[in-house]
Every structure is written in structure tokens, then in C-alpha cells.
Amino acid sequence: MQLDEIKSRLSCSVDPGIELGKKFRLASILVVIYGDKPMIVMTEKPKHMKFHAGEISFPGGKLDPGDSDLLETALRETSEELGLIIARDQVIGQLEPVVTLNSGFLILPFVSVVKEIPTLIANAEVEKVLYIPLESFLKTQARDADPSHNIIQEMYTFEYHNQVVWGASARILKQIRDCLNT
């Protein structure tokens, strides 16, 4: 699938506001897809982190009081974690919010599809930057067999180089796969 077709299928209106009271802590992530042979950028979290240690995830984080909205959060966190500057007008859409299994976050995912990205420089919140071929990665989708992971909603896994992506990140990837397979 070419970048233009991916962009077309993932494009939708962006509404970075979300009102859910005090039930969840709010966070957002940015899905960055780029290149002639489309790649997706993900990160591996350091094993010493309080939440999601060692997990494969998207750049992003919790809403800070200084952020005007969740889109600003996703853009700020992507810049801090990877040194990647994405402008608001480069965000082509968003996906349905997902909740984390045990840390109490509701995550609003945003999507940016760009021709190319510069060399990324990870900060201390990122153990490793992963550049994953999108199409073959999405084909690795499987049901999450761990029964303790199925208490929120349908759970999935994806695999890249023997590393399993699960939880909220996998549910975001499932949404992308569904959009691209329609």
C-alpha cells in the first residue's frame, strides 16, 4: 500500500478535546507513518519506568496542565521523546480512544503520515526507537492469549523481531489495520 492511500484511509476530522470526568487520567500518542515503503515509528520503554516498563509503544504521554489540548500533548511528547517535530497541520486524523489495562489512562491516538522523517534521537524515556515496516507488521495480528489481559475489551498482539506488542498499543494498531483493510 502506498503512502497516499494510507493517508486517504486514515484521514478524518481531528477533535483533540475529550471529556470523561475523573474516571481516567488523560494521555495521547502520535502514530507516525512515513516513507515510500511505509514504516511506522514505535518505541521501547526502559525497563526502569514506573508505568509500561519495557513495553513497545507509540511516542506520547499524559496531558500536562500547560497543554492546550491532547493534540498538543502528543506533539510535545513526540518532540521530547524522539526529537521529531510534527506540526498540527501534519496530523491527518485520530483514532478511537483506548484505555490502559492497569495504569488508568485513557489514550487519544492521533495520526500523521509524512513523506520522510529526520534521524530520531531518543531521550531517557525511550530505550530504543523502532522503525517497523507497516504492512508486514499489521499481518502479525493475533488474539492475546493471556486471560488476565482480556478484562477491558478485545485484546490483540502484534509481533516485531520476537517482541510482542500488546495492550493499548495493540488496540491502536488493530484500528489502523481495520482502517487500511476496508
> In the chain, how many domains are there?
1
141 within a domain of the structure (yes/no)? no
Indicate whether 63 belongs to any domain: yes
pLDDT digits (tens, 9 = 90+) for 95-122: 999 988 777 889 999 999 999 999 999 9
Q: Residues, the chain, total?
A: 182
Does 21 reside within a domain? yes
| pLDDT winner (highest mean) among 16-25, 94-103, 153-162 | 94-103
pLDDT for position 109: 97
Residue 48's contacts (CB-CB under 8 Å, 6 or more residues apart) are none
Residue 129: which CATH number? Answer: 3.90.79.10
**Contact by Cβ (8 Å): 43, 82:** yes
Tell me the pTM: 0.90
Is residue 30 a part of any domain in this protein? Answer: yes
Range of the domain at 123: 3-135
Greater confidence (23 vs 41) lies with 41
Structural domain contains residue 32: yes
